[in-house]
Structure 1
Amino acid sequence: MKWHHVQENWSAFYEAIIDKWPEADEADLDEVDGDQRAFVTYLAEATGQEPAEIREELREWLVGEIPSDVVMDPVHDNHSIALSAKFVGEGEDEYSDDARFGDDSDRGDN
């Protein structure tokens, strides 16, 4: 993944960040707001490591896949739906429900 994936979905990455750096705190992450330099500085202070060490850990962490909870995030979903518009026929709305697939409220398990 690239840093822009993290920055664009910042709050959705909190769990993955705290898994990797347990010293991180959600309130502090709110303050960082996806700024990579501020994030490195914050982690260096929180962990007591040198910024160069944190940058290396961050590079290694970014090699991984986007966490599934981020992929399932509504903001990410809406972006994916918007990108799918090129595959939707003219006159159709990519955000509309498709009646062929039924309505979740009709499942009978409510």
Structure 2
Amino acid sequence: MKWHHVAENWPAFYEAIVDRWPDADESDLDEIDGDQRRFLRYIAEIEGLEPEEAREEVREWLAGEIPADVVMDEGHDNISIRNSAKYVGEGEDEYDDDARFGDDNENGKDDEDG
């Protein structure tokens, strides 16, 4: 993930930050508000690290997965859908019959629609 993912969705990362750095406090994270430099200084302070060591820890953390709260964000979903368009064959409509996935009943309508 990139820092802009973190900054744009800062509160969604609190749990992941506290999991990685248990001494982190949510009220302190509120004050940092996604500012990368302030976050690096904060990690260095609570972990007793030199700035470069803190930067490396954060870099390693950024190499991990994006938290589910962020992945399920509407903005992220729209980008994912747009990016997936390259996998839809020419002339194919991604909204066409999806019976092969077991979602459609025999008359072509979803079970809810009857």
- TM-score after normalising by structure 2: 0.66
- Once superposed, what is the RMSD of the aligned Cα atoms? 2.7
Q: How many residues align?
A: 90
Show the counterpart of 1:79: 75
The amino acid across from 1:21 in the alignment is: W
After superposition, the Cα gap between the structure-2 partners of 1:82 and 1:26, relative to the gap in structure 1 and judged at 3 Å, is same
- Show the counterpart of 2:8: 8
Q: In the alignment, what sits opposite 1:50? A: 50
Flag structure 2 segments of 5+ consecutive residues without an equivalent.
86-109
Per-residue CA deviations over 1:71-94 (Å, capped at 9, x if unaligned) read 13xxx2x21455458x8xxxxxxx
Separation in 1 of the partners of 2:58 and 2:49? Answer: 13
Shift in CA distance, 50/67, structure 1 to aligned 2, threshold 3 Å: same
| Higher-helix-fraction structure | 1
Aligned to 1:40: 40
Classify 1:101/1:55 alpha carbon distance in 2 versus 1 (closer, same or farther; 3 Å).
farther
Number of the residue aligned with 2:103: none
Distance 1:8-1:101 versus aligned 2 partners, 3 A rule: farther
Q: Which amino acid is 1:54 matched to?
A: A
- Between structure 1 and structure 2, the one with the greater Rg is 2
SS at match of 1:44: helix
Q: 1:21 to 1:79 in 2, by over 3 A?
A: same
Deviation of residue 50 (structure 1)? 1.2
Match of 1:106 in 2: none
Q: CA deviation at 1:70?
A: 2.5
Secondary structure of 2:39's aligned partner = helix
Quick check: 2:12–2:70 contact (8 Å CA) kept in 1?
Answer: yes
2:30 matched residue in structure 1: 30
SS of the aligned residue for 1:65 comes to coil
Displacement of 1:102 in angstroms is 4.5
Gaps of 5+ in 1: 88-99, 104-110
By how many angstroms is 1:2 displaced?
0.5
| Partner secondary structure for residue 69 of structure 1 | helix
TM-score, scaled relative to structure 1 = 0.68
Percent of paired sites with the same residue: 63
Work out whether residues 17 and 24 of structure 2, in 8 Å CA contact, stay in contact via their aligned partners in 1.
yes
